[in-house]
Every structure is written in C-alpha cells, then in structure tokens.
Structure 1
Amino acid sequence: MRKLFSLLVMLIGFSQIYAQTVTGTVQSATDKSGLPGASVVMKRAASEAILTTSTDVQGAFRFERVPSGSYTLEVRYLGYDLLTRSVQVAQAPINLGVLSMQEQNTRLGEVQIIGRAPLGEQKGDTSQFNAKAFKTAPDASAEDLVTKMPGVQVQDGRIQAQGEEVRQVMIDGKRYTGEDVTSAMRNISSDMIENVQIFDAQSDQAAFSGFEDGNRLKTINFITRKDRRQGYTGKISAGYGTDDRYMAGAAINYFNNDRRITVTGLTNNINMFDFSIGETPGGGMRGRRGGWGGGSPIGIINTNNFGINYQDKWGKKMDVSANYNYSNRDIVNDQYRFRDFVSDEAGLQYTEDANNRDREDGHRLNMRLQYNINENNRLLVTPSLRVQNDEGFTGRNARTFDLNGTLSESLNRSSSDNTSFNFNNNILYSKRFGDSGRILTTNFNTSINNVDGDGFQYEQTQNFENPDRNVLRDQYIRLDRTNFSWSGGTNYSQRLGEKSRLQFEYNIGNQMRDSDRRTYDYVETAGEYADFNMPLSSTFKSDYLSQSVGPSYQYRNDKARLQLNARYEFATLDTDSQFPVDLDPLKRKFNNFLPSAEYEYKFSQSQNLTLNLRTNTNAPSVEQLQEVLDISNPLQARIGNADLDQDYQTRFNARYRNFNAETNRVFFIGMFGTMTNNYVANSVYTTNVPEGIAEGYEFRPGARLSRPVNMDGFYNVRSFFNYGQPLNFISSNFNVNGSVGYSRIPGMIDEQVNYSNNTNLGAGFNISSNISEKIDFTVSTFSSYNIVSNTLRTTQNNNFFNQNTSLRYNWILWKDLVYRTELNHQYNSGLSAGVDNSFLLWNMSLGKKIFKDKQGEISLSVNDLMNQNVSIRRNVTESYVEDVQSTVLQRFFMLTFSYNIRSYKGAPATEENLQRGPGMYRGGRPGSN
C-alpha cells in the first residue's frame, strides 16, 4: 500500500510539471464585447500537434493539460482578421488576458465587397454555420433559418439535425429553459443571429467532470450579433375566418445582454399550440407546425396558452433561467383504425371507429440555477414542476372478423377525470482542485409523481358465435398511483499524465411505486356503483434499488480521444400485490457488467469521426408489472406481469463529419443502433389463456389479450447521410439525404414466437433559395419504402411506400405585396382498403405591408385550398400492422392583421434593418473566415 501511495504521488507530481492550463478572453477591438464561438487553435512549433477549443458566451477560452513547449496561438472569427500570438508554456498556468480582434471592414473605408459568404466550418464535433450565408425573408425566425442549413430538416413536425431530433436549444451558449425546442427557435428572429452551431451537448454531469456518460443531446446554439443583444422584438396578430375560425396571439422578447425575457399568449381554434415572432400571418400557413414535443397536429383543437421565459445573470456568479407555461386545450378527434393481425386464424382483422373528446389543463415550470462559486467550484440546481388535469371521453365501435364474417362487435363508452402532479429536482456540485488535475462531482436527484383519477366504462358486446354470451357492463374505476424516487452519485477523477485521466464513480438510486386501482359494478337495485369487482382491481407496490460502481479511463492527444468505462451494477426488485390475488412478496436480484467506450478522431479541422458504445439496464414500469385486467377496449384487453425482469440494452453509434470551408461542401454520415436482451415484448392470446393469468376473463370471439413478457432478439439499426453544396447558378443551397433502417421486434402469439422485421429505405433532396430577401423558397422531397415480414405467418408480409413532397415560397411583390404559399403532397401505396392514400395540402396567403416602416401587415389566407387534408399513420408491431386515419383541420379562409416589433439599441427598427438581416453579406473578403 505504501508503494502504491508513493507511485500515486509521483504520478500527480509528474502531471503537474509537464502540463499546464492556458486561458484568455477574445474581444472585439471596436466595442470591447466578448466574441462567443470563436475558434482558438494552439499549434506546437516543434511538431504538427494541434489543440483546439471555442470561446464561451463571454468570449473566454481555456486549454487544459497543455504540454510544455513553444506554441503559436491562432484565433478566427467570421468577419474579423486572423489574430496570432506566440505562447511559451512552462511550469506555471498562463493567462493571456484580453485578445482584441479587428473587424475586417474597418480598414476598407467606403469600399464594400459583396459576394457569397462562407457557409461555415467544422470545429471538432461542432458544425458552425454562418447566418450571413443563408438569405431569409425580413420577418423570418431562427427556425426558418436553420431549415435552410445542410443536414437540418423538419420530419413529422420535429426539427432534425444530422439524422437526430434536436432536443435542446441554446442562445449564446446558455440553455433555453423549456421543453419545446421548436417554440424556442420560433421566438428568435433570424436577423439577430450571427452563427449557428450544431453539436451533441454533454450532460451537466459530463461537462463538469470531463468524462462522457452517454447522455448527449442534439443541440443547436444560436450565437447572436453583438448589435442585437439589446432591445426588443415581437409580433402581435389577430384573425377571423370562415366556420368561426379565429386566432389572436402575441409574443414579445426583451433582451439586454445577459437578461432575456420572452412573453407569449395565444387563443385560437385552428390547431396552433403556441405563438411566436416567427409566426406567418394567417392561420392557413401552419403546414409543418406541431405541438408539445413536435408531431403534426391531429383533431380540431381549441387552445388558450400563456408562457414566460426568463434568463439572466444575477451578479457575477449566478446564472438563472426559468420557464412557465399554462395551457388549456379542447380536442375533438375522430379516428378510423384498421388492424391486420399476425395469427394462425386465417384473415383475422379488426376495425374501429372512435370519437375522442379531451380537455387538458396544465401548468409547467422549469428552472435552472447555476452558481459559479469561484473558478474551481460550481453548483447547479434544476427543479421542474408540472400539474395537469385531463378530462376525456371516448366512444368506440369495434369489430373483429375473419374470412367467414363478423365474430364480435362491441360498443364502448368511457370517460375519465385525472389529476397529475410531477416534481423533479437535481442538485449537482463540481469541484476542481486547482491545476492539480483532480475533479470531484456529486449529484442528488429526487422525483415525486402522483396520479389521482376517476373513470366510468360502459360496454355492450355482441357475440355472433354464441349470442347467449353477449356482455353488458357498467363500471366505475378509482385510480391512485404514487411514484417516489431518489438517486445520487459521486465521481472523482485524477490526471495521470500529460494525456490521460482516471475516474472512479459510484451511483445509487431507489424507485418506490404504489398503484391502487379499484373497480365497482353498477347495481341496478341500489342505483349506485356498489359491487366491488376484484378481478378488475389491483393493489401493487414495487421497490427497485440499484447501485453501480466502476472506473473510467480517458486518453487524449492532439488528434484522438479514447474513453473506456467499466461499471458493475447490482439491483433488487421487490413487488407485492394483495388482489386480485394475494401474492407472496417477490424479490429478485440482478447483477450486470456495463462496459462502454467512446473514440473520437480528428483527421483535420474539418473532418471528424466519433464511435460510441454504451450499455445500460431499465426496470419495467408499474403499468407493465401490475397484474390487473384493462378491458377499456374489450376486444383488445391487456394485463400486466409481476414476473418481469429488467432489460439489458446495448447502444452504439458512429458519426463522420466533413465540412470543407473552401468549397462550402458538407457531408455527414451516421449509424445508430440498439440491441436489447430481456426486451419487454407482448405475448398475445387469441384463444385459451394459461392457468393463473387473467382468472375469470372470458374471451369475446376474435378478441386478443396482451401480456408483457421478457424476450431476447430486439434490434433496431438506422443510418443517415447528408451531402450539401451551394448551387451558384441559381443562388441556392442543395442537399441530398438518405437513410437505411432495420428493426426486429420479438413477440409471442398463442405461445409461438414471432419476429416482426421491418426494413426501411429512404432518399430525398431539398433546394433552399439564397437569391434575396424578397424571394424565399424551399423545395424538398423524401421517399420511403418499407418491407415488413413476419416469421410466424409469411402470408401477412407487407410492403408499403410513402413519399412526401413540399414547396414553401415567399415572394415580396410590387408595392409591398407579400405572397406566401405552402404545398405538401403526400403519396402512399400499400395501405389498407378504405384509408385515403394520397392528398395535396395547399395553404396560401396574400398580404400587404402597411405603415411607414412596413411593420404592419394585413393578409388573406386559405388553409387546405383543395380541401384534401387527411392524417394517415401506419404502425408496425410484432403482432399486427395497422393504419390509422384521424380528424384534421380542413379548408377555411381567414383575414389577419399582424404587427412586427423590432427595436435594437444602436440599430433602429427601420425598413432597411428589417430587410438586411442575415441574408446580406457586406464587408470582408468573399470566402474569408
């Protein structure tokens, strides 16, 4: 032990002698403002070794573990001259102080060079785009800007970048506190943006410790122009149309450097879920909008919404952000569902007509408080709260049939009133022990979730095989569910030498869940729900305790970074149930080895490769564990399984990025995959149910009972690529993209194993204009071919094709007339009979800019001009393939008045400022960076 301690002391001393930190701050020489996102490079004079980093929101940068020697430091920032410094690293930390950069156009006098701005550059795993290179309409939002960039697209209402959904938005390096990233992007005007960065953001834990934990989020960071960081922007709109369609909304942004406040409000019945400064005048221009979490809206939705987002710096040490949102919605959604089962019974199928009426009333609050105690100590607290009430009614007519005719027909009516409360809080503390290379991080998380609800269910089912077994039931259901969990962990890392680090981590977590569901039958003579129904009732408790411990090793040099992790996890799952049957408490133990690895290699400043492998486990949910019958749809019943084990998941991904700043060509390719053992699959019974499962349940002819079981053999692999380059002859940007995917879902049907295999092939392209601010268009198309096969019944294999083509066109005509149009053509083949296969959604508006500064507009718009809009979704599972058609908003006309607000300190909101925006490139040398 004494020798080991001596060796450790020697290693610490060695690391302190041969590696030091280099820090500094990059500012504009003109106004002394910090330059965020600047590229900082240290080149070693005696070799080809290169160290790279970027400045933070204040313009500060920091290099860790810099070996002794002579270096040349280079700083690059779009629109500024290259800055170089000679740096001599010895045995003490170096602070270079303030590095002032000169703007390129300050030395050109009255000369202006107008040309094509460089798209941007690749900086390690960060793709940085120059907003000047993408021309947008004067009143465009950040969302309109980023969807012109290579590798960024809207898929099912969600913003995707480099094949992954964008999960986080930052402004000048600070997180936007809120759950809806699309709303955040719509509330930033494009003329405020200087650069856009796309990268995989580390978790707070990983960012503090320096060790990857596998919890990265696809992130877009908007770096704002320094002359747009003080002032306010906003939009106010109101409109009324045919069929009593209406909309009124406002969004106001106030910003003063670190302080940013956004207030939004909206009331409407045209499927708008939020309002923003990027809102296109007229309710018809909503072709690609979604709700919370993205996705295209279905149904007819009335929404009343209010939100406020706050971000500030309290003093020099505290960063604070908060987001509050209130939303009230009434939803009308009718659906038709056709389901083709994988079964030994020839031609077993299911149809359903459902009328859904829902009312949602919810409050959400998210906060983020980061206290930078000093250079070496940081504290982060992130609480969140959500309170929601949901009232719903569903009327369902369902039928099962085969080649011989109808087997069962069921009429169901159900209503519910549920109130939920969710609170979560995480505390994260990080300490760096000076320049010794030692870092300690610790975190503690608590979570409380409660659901309290009442429900009523009525069923009238006809049995065509045996009319004596027709079913009539009328029931009241009381639900009380509480989940409480806590978790904590400590990570300690130590520098081993010039290029390596070692970390030791310990984590512990506990999930305690209690679910009580009680069902009462209606008693005619008593006139109340007085008969306790034990088979449809259940009390269930579970306690899941997990602990993990293990080391991590990281090696980093100028070109590569390698991290290896080895964790050992041991967990226990205790369950207890009193009824429908009184079971003995069940206790299970799990022991798993959880390795992970990550490798990153930089071929050059513009080429980067990342490989990642992660393993983890997941405990089954209380809904999956609780053995209570759910016959809200009696022809598709469900029951839980208290014997479920945790699953074991292996995830991998590979990403290659190449961004040639000289040719403006961009190439991304990625592969993402998941393999799961003990996957929670569905075991479906169509005839007899084994003894001990769903005692007392009587099958309706053609009905199915599903029960979760653990199975091996789940695979999901997907690849994505994007290639983009400018098309100079039409002043536009061209992108071509494609994808290949394969999924394998295991399941069981009447005790027989079935694997549902789905192969997906996709390809498409888009062209976005870069002509001028007066002409803005985007043309895109994407086609997808799916091959579905089943191992149990090959006669039900199925292939289907989908193509989505869209055109968005904005044109500022003569005398301030503005024409906007959106066309979206959806083509499907291979879907079920009776489902509308193809449609054309055409939205259009014509507006007139008014007032002296042209900030007002009156517009007439039409939604779904051809009256063809439909919603079709295909779902593929291990036991069936189904097509679902839902209610959507169709044709209406609307007259709208909108007023844009723009006022920047030192940059008045004139027509020139509104139209210049990021689309114009003035000053500097074409292609310079």
Structure 2
Amino acid sequence: MRKILALLFVCLFGYFAQAQKADGSISGKLMDTTNKKPIADATISLLQAKDSSLVTFTLSNKQGQFEIKGLAAGNYRLIITHQEYSEVRKTVSLTEEKKQLNVGEIVSSNNFKEMTGVVVTNEAPIVVKNDTVQFNASGFRTQPNATAEDLIKKLPGMEVDKEGNVKSQGETVQKVYVDGKEFFGNDPKLATKNITADMIESVQVFDDMSDQAKFTKIDDGSRAKTLNIKLKKDRNKGYFGRATAAYGSNDRYEGNLSVNKFNGNQRISLLFNANNINKQGFSFSDIISSMGGFSGFGGGGGGMGGGMMGGGGGGMMIRGGGGGMGGFSSGGSTGLIKSLSAGINYTDQWSSKMKVTGSYFFSNSDNRQEQSSLRRTTYGDSIVIRDRQSMSTSKNQNHRFNLRFEYEIDSMNSILYTPSITQQHSESYSFDTSSSTTQQPGKEFLGVVGRTNNENVRDGFTWNNNLLYRHKFGKTGRTITLGWNNTFGNSDANGLTMSNNTFYREDGTLNRSIDQNQRTFQKTNTNNNAISTSYTEPFGLNKLLEINYRYTRNVGTSDREAYNYDAASGKYETPNLLLTNDFKNIFEGHRVGANFRVQKPKYNYQFGLGVERSSLESQSYQASTQKDSVNKASYTNLFPTANFNFTPTKSKNLRFMYNGRTNQPTLSQLQNVRDVTDTLNIIIGNPFLKQEFNHNFTIGYNSFNIMTFRLIAANLSFSTTQNKIVNSITVNNGVQTTNYLNLDGYYRGSAFITLGLPFKNPKWKGSSLNFSNNSSYTQDVSMIQSNSGNMVKNFTRTFMVSQGAGINLNKPKYDIGIRLNLAYNDVKYTQAKSLNEDYLTQTYA
C-alpha cells in the first residue's frame, strides 16, 4: 500500500514539477479586415512545428482576444479557423529569454489565400452534444494491443470492474453499439473485450431509447445507458484481427482470437475464447433469459441487499447469503471456472431498403468451488448463527441467436423485426454441512446440525419476438406505429435432495431428527404478448402530441411434482402431495395515454399521462387437498411521465426525467407450494400478492470546458416503491420459513459526481486525473418475528458515501493507471438496534 501511494505521489509531483517549467504564453487579437471588427469564437490551434502534433487549442473571446498559457520553450505553428473566415497560419517561437509572446493583431478576410502542406486534425478529447458525451480516442493514449475496455478505463466518469462490467456516471452500461449497430446482441462485454483500441475513433455515452421512441420522438421511459463505439474510416475495409495466448503455473491458460472482415456496410466478426482463469465468455443475462420463469430448487432464503440485513426483501439476513437460484449456478467469478466460447456477428445492408444484423454465440462453462459462509439472523433478542461449509460443481451450456431486420418499404413505411432465441442446458451438484447456534441473553446453545446433497438438471428455451410497423404521413411529424411483442419460454428441471437435520434442546439433549430423500420435477412455461399503437400529430414547427394504446396479456404456468424415496422398491415413486402443485398466473392490462412534446433550439420538454386497467388472476391446484383455488385482483393505475432537457451551450447539458411503472410478482413468488430443497429454509409463495408501483426521478448535468478540457458530470436520483414485495420470515424449532407480502416504506436516493482533468501539457498527452464521489441513502423494509412471536415491521436504513481518485499516465513506452477508493457505510435497524454498525472499505487498483 505504501509503495502504491509513493508511486502516485512521485507521478503527481513529477507532473506538477514539469508544469511549473512550462510557464510560457502566446497571446493576440483577431480582426476582420473588411468590417474592422473583432472575430469572436474563432478556434486557435497550437501545433508542434517539428511534427504538426496538436499541443492545445482555445477560442477567442468577444473582443477577439486569445491567450494560450502553460507552454514550454520551442517552435510552434498557430492555425486560426472560423466558419465565416479564411484560415490563417503563423509560425511562432518561445525561448527561455522570451517566454511571453504577443503576436499582435491578426487579420482575416475572404481574399486570404490558404496555405498548403499541413494537415491538421483538431478534435477536443471530450465533446458534449446535447445529452451525449463523446470521448475522442486520439485524446487518450493506450498501449499497443489494448482493447476497447482498456480505453474506456481511461475515460472520465467511466468505471470497469474486474468482471468487465462498465459503469458511466454510476449507472451500469446495458448496451454497446459499434457504429450505431448491434454487436453480438445485447452483451456489452463482447464488444469492449474484443474490439482493439487502435480501431476506435470515438466513444459516445448516452441514454438509448426504444426503437418506437426514436421514430415518434416521444420518450416512452424505456431508457438504457449505452455506449456507441465509432470506428475509424480506414477500418471499414479489409481483414484484421487479434490473437493472444498465455500459459502459467498450475496449468492455467487463456487463449483469445478475433477475426474481422469489413467491406463498407458488410461486417463479419468471429470470436473465440478458451480459459480456465475464471473469465467467462458470456454475460449473466444469457442464463436469466433461458430460465423461462422457473423459480429454482431453493438454496437458502433471502439475500444481502441494502445493508447487512434485509434489502430487497431479504429479511434480517446478516452478511450472508443464500437465495439466488438454488442448484442452478453460473458460478460468477468464484471457484475455479473453465470456459469455452465462440461466436459470429454479421452486419450488412442488402440493398438501399434492407439492413440486417445477426449473431450466434455459444458458451460452455464448468465451475468447481468450495465455500465457507457465516450467516447471522436476528429474531427479536435472539440471534441464530449458521456456519456452513459447501462444495459444488456446475456445468452450463448456452446457445444464443439474435437478429435485427429493418426493411424500408418506401419513404413513408418501414418494418423492424428483432427476434432472439436462447437455449440452455445446465447441471449442478452440491454437498454442504451446517450447524446453527442460537444466542439469547445470558445463554448460547447448539440448535441444529445438518447435511444436504442437491443434484439438479435443467433445460431452458426462450424465444423473443418484436415486430414494429412505422408509417409517416405527408405532414411532417404525423406518424403512426403498430407493434407486437412476444416472449415464449419453457424450462424442464428435475432435482434430487437428500438431507439429514438433527435438532437439539437448550440443555444439549437430542430433540428430533428429520431425514429427507426426494426427487422433484418442475415444468415452467411463459407466453407473454403485447400489442401497441401510437399516433403523433404535430402542432406548428416545434410541438408534438402523441396518443398511445397498449394491450398486454401474460400467461405463466408452473407445475411441480415431488416423490419420496421408497426403500422397498429403491425408487422415487411415493408421491409427496404436500409439495405437488399446479399453478397458473394470468395478467391482462389495457393502457391508454397521451404525451405532449415541445422542441426548442436550446431546450425541449415532454409530459404525459397514462391510465391502465389491469387484472391479475392466479389459479392453483393443490394435490394434498385435491382442490382448485382461484384468486383475482383488479387495478387502476396512473402513469405520469415528465422529461426536460436544457442545452445552454454546445458543451453543457441539464436534464430531468420522471416516470412511474408497475412490476408484476413472479411465478415463484405467487406459487403457494412449499419449497423444501433446504429443509432449514422453507420458501412458500403468496398468491395474494399485489403488483409493485415504482416512482423514479433523475436529474443529470454534464459540462465540458473547452479551455481546460475539464469534464464535470453529475447525477441525482430518487426512487420509491409502493406495495414492494418483501420477505416475511418466521422461525419455529430451528426451521426458517420465508413468505412474501406487500409493504410500503421503501425508498432510495443517490448522488454521483465525477471530475475529469486531462493533462494539457503535450508531454503528457492522454494522461488525466479523475475524481468521483458516490453517495446513497436507502430505506428497506421487511417483516420479522418479535420476542413474543408476533410479526413486526423492520426498517433497514443504509447510508453510503465513497470517494474515488485515479490517475492515468500515458507515455509511448509505458502506461500506468492507479485507482484508489474509500467508502463509508452506516447501517441501522429499527428492530435490532444492537446490530447497528458502520464500517469502511478500501479499494486499490
């Protein structure tokens, strides 16, 4: 740690020491020879005379004056440009004896003859265009063979974690385009890890809207933080690629291959990766998309969330874990992962009317891991500490197809079709042992000792279809769209659970022992459909009214059968009727809305209101009672939206967004059957759950100072959820039972600000200092069991603030990046105040 800080100090000291020597300046005044008036807003570029490399640039003020400071002695070239005037070039020199140079009055007119022989590329490293921030790659030096990910790490306001996930201004980047087109579907890592930095001209950051919103110019609230990687024009034709291979101790290896064929609009890319160093060739969304709504075979209850307890309906869980997807595990980056992946991406414009982008991606991973966990759960004045040791293996195989087909029928009509197919097979095995100790005032005793084996096999398939028809009328701004969205998915899974749990009394004597040996089969199907239409009507030159309608019908089924082991036959053929259940969930909704948008040169705003009438019906058949039950609920919701975007100058942008939306409960949360995969953590669904309603507010600000290259980006957000679906946890004789219910009281506020300071000294071109601050306050809610056995509401309030600082030093022969981050967390509980705590985390990279 001391060595890192020392290195950072030396680098900073060296830079500022060098900056002290560069104290020269060049000044002057620009005049129009015809009108004898000052020329304002002209661009004055300063280049090195020896190689024409850009040193810096500035703008003239209203009086036509300019001054460039912080220059070292040497020979330079001044190039002065303005869109209304002829270009002026002038050679100047600074010496140690004369460090301040005033070139006097420089005149320009339409009769000026342009000099030849010098090619100038004058691009600021950062440009703010409305709500888009563009980073020009030439302003951020990278080492040979660097990837897009290496370049992104150097951009102010951008973060890349060890898994390769990208964040911009504290928000996760969900999409990455290449020249405005999809690259291997919606997996950002495939672009950032396989495109080389020397191919990139610029990286754009913005909030992408849906295809319908782009066409109608009406924001529908569906936004995703997005990167667009623009490639250099000379990389649009030819073959190129990248291959790397590495081998280390303990037979660790990694190999990567990318081959590209670009020919104008046609682009073909091939990727291959194989390694056993925990680098996966797929994102976690590949796994989720193929699950078809399957709830999983258990695993412990809850999760961590907000603070140490609760969070996201996690109940009173302390530093621990359970939850997740039970036997189905991607492995994440824990354990030892061996992975193989390959894919092909194809982009082309078949004619002036047809554009197509398609990809196929295959991934295979094998994960082996051993884990030790310690979970503390509080119930009134009792604390249960569960010590768990586990070993597990999992194998996952994934096939993913994506297609985007756009057909322009004529100048007034077009069709967009974007299907995707995911197929997956997974196998997992786990063995764990655990012991639970109960602590109460004045005493402590061993409560439960358990052993569990789980085996699971699952096959999943998901097919998504999105079809959009768009029509423009003769009147500019008058449009109509028709859309159809469909998701069809299914999964077949079977799991084997063998467990033994021994329970002890407070005096240490044996209470009882429970053995479980059963096989469970579950089939899940989803069929979701939505039909929508939107009509826009212009009013004048800058006003637009939209009227929309959407019909939604989502149907999900989950059929579960459980069989106990029959010792006499040696087979799993004795039905367990308590755990056998057929469940069907139907959601149907009609939504109508209107939005009004005003577009001005420096600002635009939009506001709207939608009304939805929906119904939720749950049908359940319980084998133990041989009875059907039906639960129905109806809702009427208002969906207000508001957006405001203000761009006072080309380099500053202020925006505000608000939207409200609903979240439906999942099949696993609704299905009222006991999941006893983990006999100490039983999970039961609640068919009476209501839908959640979320309110989201966001304010964002971007500013780039063209004089100093300084970037400031800030973001404020607040969200609250009505009828939030949370966990309700009870404990009886050492067994924890988790149910679901709706509660109010959840909200979260966060603030983020980043400051990027690229070095202007030409000897440190591409180097920068970056500072960021991220803070949040979250109140989560759950239900826990009090000392008297009654259920009481618990609030978990978590305050977090983190400060980060980084420096990127780029030189032709080396590249150094140092990042330091310090975070303070304060967690408080209303029902378990003895567990309140605060702590610091430090990260160095």
TM-score, normalised by the number of residues in structure 1: 0.70
Distance 1:267 1:196, change over 3 A: closer
Aligned counterpart for 1:155 among listed residues 142, 161, 176: 161
1:324 maps to 360
TM-fit CA distance, 1:454: 1.1
Counterparts of 1:385 and 1:755, CA distance in 2 = 41
Judge which range, 189-198 or 544-553, deviates more. Answer: 189-198
**Equivalent of 1:672 in 709, 714, 717:** 717
Contact 1:713-1:745 within 8 A present in 2 as well: yes
Q: What SS does the aligned partner of 2:259 have?
A: strand
Query: Does the 8 Å CA contact 1:251/1:275 hold for their aligned counterparts?
Result: no
Distance in 2 between the 1:81 and 1:138 partners?
A: 33
- Which of 173, 177, 181 is matched with 1:170 structurally? 177
What's the offset of the Cα at 1:734?
0.8
Question: Which residue pairs with 2:149 in the alignment?
Answer: 143
Is 1:570 the counterpart of 2:570? The answer is: no
Structure 2 counterpart of 1:187, from 194, 200, 205: 194
Q: Residue 637 of structure 1 aligns with which residue? A: 682
Q: How does 1:14-53 map to 2 (within 5 A)?
A: none
Residue 609 of structure 1 aligns with which residue?
654
For residue 527 of structure 1, the aligned residue among 565, 570, 573 is: 570
Checking the alignment, whether the CA contact within 8 Å between 2:176 and 2:187 is kept in structure 1 is no
**Residue-by-residue CA offset, 1:431-480 (whole Å, 9 max, x unaligned):** 11134321111110111110101110001101112635201111010111
State the partner residue of 1:733. 768
SS for the counterpart of 2:418 is strand
Match of 2:232 among 203, 225, 234: 225
- Return the alpha-carbon distance in structure 2 between the equivalents of residues 351 and 260 of structure 1: 54
Match of 1:406 among 446, 452, 474: 446
1:182–1:294 contact (8 Å) kept in structure 2:
no
Indicate the residue corresponding to 2:704 in structure 1: 659
* Partners of 2:176 and 2:227 within 8 A in 1: yes
Of 456, 467, 473, 1:427 maps to 467
**Structure 2 equivalent of residue 724 of structure 1:** 756
State the partner residue of 1:310: 346
Q: Deviations over 1:73-119 (max 9, x none)?
A: xxxxxx9976579xxxxxxxxxxxxxxxxxxxx976555779x9621
CA offsets, 1:820-839, max 9 Å, x none?
xxxxxxxxxxxxxxxxxxxx
Distance in 1, matches of 2:533 and 2:358, equals 27
Query: Partner letter of residue 473 of structure 2?
Result: F
- Maintained 8 Å contact 2:454/2:498: yes
Q: What is the identity, as a one-letter code, of the residue corresponding to 1:479?
A: Q
2:332 and 2:487 map into 1 onto residues whose CA distance is: 31
When residues 200 and 722 of structure 1 are mapped into structure 2, their CA distance, relative to the original with a 3 A threshold, is: same
Question: In the alignment, is the contact (CA less than 8 A) between 1:168 and 1:176 conserved in 2?
Answer: no
Q: Could you tell me how far apart the structure 2 residues matched to 1:416 and 1:275 are?
A: 21
| CA–CA separation in structure 1 for the residues paired with 2:173 and 2:735 | 40
Which residue of 424, 427, 439 maps to 1:388?
424
- Rounded to whole Å, the distance in 2 between the matches of 1:722 and 1:80 is 32
Work out whether residues 561 and 599 of structure 1, in 8 Å CA contact, stay in contact via their aligned partners in 2.
yes
* Partner in structure 1 of residue 415 of structure 2: 379
Aligned residue runs from structure 1 range 469-484, under 5 A: 469-484=512-527
Contact 1:249–1:275 (CA<8 Å) still a contact in 2? no
Task: Please tell me whether the aligned partners of residues 398 and 635 of structure 1 are also in contact (alpha carbons under 8 angstroms).
Answer: no
> Across the two proteins, how many residue pairs are aligned to each other?
677
Query: 1:353 aligned to 2:389?
Result: yes
C-alpha distance 501-117 of structure 1, shift in aligned 2 (>3 A): closer
Q: Residue 630 of structure 1: SS of its match in structure 2?
A: strand
Structure 1 CA distance for aligned equivalents of residues 159 and 114 of structure 2: 39
| Amino acid aligned to 1:654 | I
Aligned to 1:489: 532
> What secondary structure, in the 3-state scheme, does the structure 2 residue paired with 1:762 have?
strand
Deviations 1:139-197 (A, max 9, x none): 11122112211111113531111221111112222232423212212222212222221
- How far the C-alpha of 1:295 sits from its partner, in A, is 11
- How big is the shift at 1:547? 1.3
Query: Aligned partner of 1:171: which letter?
Result: V
CA separation in 2, counterparts of 1:199 and 1:312? 24
Deviation, structure 1 residue 606: 1.2
Name the structure 2 match of 1:48: none
| C-alpha separation in 2, matches of 1:197 and 1:249 | 26
Mapped partners of 1:434, 1:660: distance in 2:
42
Say if 1:541 and 1:577, in contact at 8 Å, map to a contact too: yes
Q: For 2:639 and 2:281, locate their aligned partners in 1 and report how far apart those are by CA, in whole Å.
A: 42
Residues 1:241 and 2:284 aligned together: no
1:803 counterpart = 2:809: no
Aligned match of 2:744: 712
State the distance in 2 between where 1:113 and 1:487 align. 53
Give the distance between the partners of 1:606 and 1:253, measured in 2 at CA. 35
Distance 1:748 1:376 in 2: 56
Aligned to 1:758: 798
Kept in 1: contact 2:330–2:394 (CA 8 A):
no
With over 3 angstroms needed to count, the CA separation of the structure-2 counterparts of 1:132 and 1:532, relative to structure 1, is same
**What fraction of aligned residue pairs are identical, expressed as a percent?**
30
Amino acid at match of 2:240: T
User: Does structure 1 retain, via aligned residues, the 8 Å contact 2:703–2:712?
Assistant: yes
Residues 246, 268 of structure 1: 8 Å contact kept? yes
Change (3 A) 1:198 1:526: same
Cα deviations across residues 33-82 of structure 1 (Å, max 9, x unaligned)? xxxxxxxxxxxxxxxxxxxxxxxxxxxxxxxxxxxxxxxxxxxxxx9976
Q: CA deviation at 1:306?
A: 1.3
Cα deviation, residue 233, structure 1: 2.1
Q: 1:740 to 1:496 in 2, by over 3 A?
A: same
Residue identity opposite 1:449 in structure 2: G
Q: Root-mean-square deviation (CA), in Å?
A: 2.3
Contact 2:282 2:363 in 1 (8 A): no
Shift of 1:294: 12
Residue in structure 2 matched with residue 892 of structure 1 by the alignment: none
825, 841, 844: which one pairs with 1:786?
825
The answer on 1:119 being equivalent to 2:135 is no
Question: For 1:792, what is the secondary structure of its paired residue?
Answer: coil
- Structure of greater relative contact order (alpha carbons < 8 Å, 6+ residues apart): 1
Q: 1:552 aligns with which of 584, 588, 595?
A: 595
Aligned counterpart, 1:811: none
Structure 1 305/108 Cα, relative in aligned 2: closer, same or farther at 3 Å?
farther
In the alignment, what sits opposite 2:730?
685
User: Contact 1:156 / 1:296 at 8 angstroms: preserved in 2?
Assistant: no
Shift of 1:300: 0.5
User: Which residue is equivalent to 1:255?
Assistant: 262
Q: Distance in 1 between matches of 2:138 and 2:282?
A: 26
Unaligned stretches of 5+ residues in structure 1: 1-78, 86-105, 277-292, 688-700, 807-929
In 2: Cα distance, 1:328 partner to 1:742 partner: 39
Q: How does 1:76-95 map to 2 (within 5 A)?
A: none
Aligned to 1:184, the other structure's residue is in SS state: helix
**Cα separation, 2, equivalents of 1:646 and 1:258:** 45
C-alpha displacement of 1:616: 0.7
Select the residue among 450, 463, 468 that pairs with 2:490: 450
One of 186, 192, 203 as aligned partner of 1:196: 203
Unaligned runs of 5+ in 2: 1-78, 86-112, 284-328, 786-790
Contact between 2:704 and 2:710, CA under 8 Å: does it hold in 1?
Answer: yes
What is the rounded CA distance, in whole Å, between the counterparts of 2:244 and 2:713 in structure 1?
A: 39
